Amino acid sequence: MTILYEVKTGHTEKVLKAFARLYNENKKGTRNIMIQYGIMAGLLLAMPRVLHFPIYGWVICWALGGLLVGLGFARNHLTYRSLLKHDELYKNKTEIRMSFGHSAFVVQDKEKNTYKYHLIHELDEDDEMFFFYMEEGDMFMIPKEDFVLGTAEEFREFIERSTDKKFNKIHLNLKERILMERQKNQQKTKMK
């Protein structure tokens, strides 16, 4: 296989933080859990007033409500800390080498696996990483700064051509979201 692009990476703290954020945003049921946390926190914060609790009841309910709100906001950090403790590739500092050829790519960590591009069913990216979702349920994260052969910009174009898919931008701030919506609306009006 002729190697066109190569990445030398590993499960670094940066990669694990990105995975924790992505996992919490895309995990099925996360929104439902956050809604439930919000409702429970609201009930705990309102309950003392409605039920005319004494002052210690207010303190207990507000403390529990605050704890639920804190857990909701800290979920990415808690997931990240758990990954630091349990991820064997991180603990062993295992190097992951990804080599991309014309029709397939090879991932080598503890073992060597080859994947055809048609097995990639979704492509995402943020400012620092590319994310590949494979049909078998695997996911690959490629830090844009870890290319040892080729550049991230060239690689993006190559993968989009090889898979016939476009990268979805994720982890957008409010300004980027508004800009994307404006562009979509302009495209819709041009089509009419």
Print pLDDT tens along the chain (192 aa): 799 999 999 998 888 888 888 777 766 566 677 778 788 888 888 888 888 888 888 888 888 888 888 888 888 888 889 988 998 988 889 999 999 999 999 999 889 999 999 999 999 898 899 999 998 888 899 999 999 999 999 999 999 999 999 998 876 566 666 776 777 777 777 776
Helix (H) or strand (E) holding 40: helix 30-50
What pLDDT is stored for residue 169 in this prediction?
A: 83
* Distance of alpha carbon 41 from alpha carbon 22, whole angstroms: 25
As separate numbers, helices (DSSP H) first and strands (DSSP E) second, the chain gives 6, 9
Question: Which of these three, 45, 60, 88, is where a domain ends?
Answer: 88
My answer on whether 135 and 169 are in the same domain is yes
Same domain membership, residue 39 and residue 78: yes
Decide if 189 is inside a domain. no
Question: What distance in Å separates the CA atoms of residue 151 and residue 189, rounded to the nearest whole number?
Answer: 35
Instruction: Specify if 177 maps to a domain.
Output: yes
CA separation for the pair 45, 162 (Å, rounded): 53
Identify the domain containing residue 156 by its residue range: 5-10+96-182
For residues 170 and 80, what is the distance between their CA atoms, to the nearest angstrom? 19
- 188 found inside a domain: no
Put simply, whether the predicted model's pTM sits higher than 0.75 gets the answer no
Q: Are residues 126 and 73 in the same domain?
A: no
What are the structure tokens assigned to 90, written together?
């991180």
Domain finish residue from 63, 88, 113: 88
Which conformational region is residue 164 in: left (phi greater than 0), alpha (psi within -120 to 50 degrees), or beta?
left
Nearest to 72 by CA among 45, 41, 49: 41
Distance CA 87, CA 11 (A): 8
Residues 83 and 102 in one domain: no
Q: In the chain, how many domains are there?
A: 2
Same-domain status, 76 and 109: no
State residue 31's pLDDT score.
67
